[in-house]
Structure 1
């Protein structure tokens, strides 16, 4: 059985920690990269732990050697100073894509965000929900950095034929935290299912997909993700009794009015 090596940047982050045990396969080696400490391997894991920053071209060049696919989760995960978002999220994405191109990595999955389209009105696309390729309408500098990530992914596919999938992740936590997340929740198990579909595509393409579960209150379309085989098995509605309230009119909700450039929760 041939082995496949998958590089996960940001492996010590919240989503990286949730995905790590869920992406273990007998024929897969996970190369885990982060600037933060990464937990050592446990029995049954086949992992390579690589300290490094997505802002360092030399580290990324080394990390991409002998890699079959990259899951790029690394970077700032919330609103922050423009200079930091530019250096880490935008320049960092270009750095990892350029390292992947140089190393001949054929497939990259980029963790975008619903905040790339936060100023989209929830009802503007009708009952089917907002399509995955809705033009960016970012709600924060962070959202701008994710829109730029998507643009870079498009460039590297069009120029170099790289298979690039951008996941506009809703809210990937063990459980939703508020009523807005009842519509955008992506369960950790569904996140892993979606990633597996991204890793299994056969034709190189550029894709933008919503990363959400099959939520009863869904406001975005699952069609693009379902087209590559994704089938959600989870629904945030089981948490609804603990999260009263009404959905906001804008996809980004409160993030459409928070001060720009101030670090805070996402």
Structure 2
């Protein structure tokens, strides 16, 4: 499969590019920055929010699918967040429709449901949107655009609500939310190759014993994670912040430290 990988220079993008290539896929990289040293794949230094530039990439490359990882990974104003996540997604979707590319895998976030209080049962893919930040709001909006294009044009759109992508857990919350690099690649490949998923949502976490999200949707798409954060549990000290970070599934993003006005007023 020939895959356009946006955000290819990012921490997740680099891991996914290598992992998919190792599994026989061809990667076309796209990022705001030039290719990293040693990258030989086709590469476009393009802003995903520039619809004309994105369309030109599609015109030049034969593509089978898109993996959309690009986007600001932290909190910003509401307009900036929507530009980074919703507008970029819209530009890609329009180019896909124009050039007959039928599948997109989208890196959404657990923060799309991050304001949901922790419960006794794992949260499923049908949980109502409940963002904890403007970052989360923008992810919800991008998911809605993907649903619209799946319904309107029959695209296959798989939304991966990623937890905590790290080499290994760094805090006790990560015992529930960790996504290992290896499982991240397994997740993306499953989302790329699942037969006719239509619009689907899965939670991007490893097979964590203490998981806060239900992996059943991922299993239906062929995602079978192999790692478990529990092996690191004994190495993670108790912290005063642990209880607050476990109150909502979005962790610290749901706290007052992230409260801000929607608009930056100069």
TM-score (norm 2): 0.90
1:259–1:27 distance in 2 versus 1, CA, 3 Å: closer
Alignment pair present for 1:60 and 2:57: no
Of 248, 257, 261, 1:250 maps to 248
Of 233-242 and 162-171, more deviation after overlay is shown by 233-242
Alignment pair present for 1:222 and 2:215: yes
After superposition, what is the alpha-carbon deviation per residue over 1:237-265, rounded to whole angstroms, capped at 9, x for unaligned? 12222323345121012211123359xxx
The unaligned stretches of length 5 or more in structure 1 are none
RMSD: 1.7
Partner of 1:12: 9
Describe the SS at the equivalent of 1:78. Answer: coil
1:204–1:230 distance in 2 versus 1, CA, 3 Å: closer
The aligned runs of 1:86-105 (5 Å cut-off) are 86-105=82-101
Instruction: Give, in whole Å, the separation in 1 of the partners of 2:14 and 2:189.
Output: 16
Describe the SS at the equivalent of 1:112. Answer: strand
Instruction: Give, in whole Å, the separation in 2 of the partners of 1:26 and 1:240.
Output: 31
State the 1:26 CA deviation.
6.8
Partner of 1:136: 129
Instruction: Give, in whole Å, the separation in 1 of the partners of 2:29 and 2:144.
Output: 25
Partner of 2:167: 174
Of 31, 34, 43, 1:34 maps to 31
Instruction: Give, in whole Å, the separation in 1 of the partners of 2:102 and 2:87.
Output: 20
State the 1:34 CA deviation.
0.3
State the 1:102 CA deviation.
1.1
TM-score (norm 1): 0.90
Partner of 1:76: 72
Of 243-252 and 157-166, more deviation after overlay is shown by 243-252
The unaligned stretches of length 5 or more in structure 2 are 262-266
After superposition, what is the alpha-carbon deviation per residue over 1:94-135, rounded to whole angstroms, capped at 9, x for unaligned? 111111111111000011000000011221xx43x1002211
Partner of 1:187: 180
Of 226, 229, 232, 1:233 maps to 226
Any conservation in 1 of the 2:111–2:250 contact (CA below 8 Å)? yes
Instruction: Give, in whole Å, the separation in 1 of the partners of 2:147 and 2:14.
Output: 27
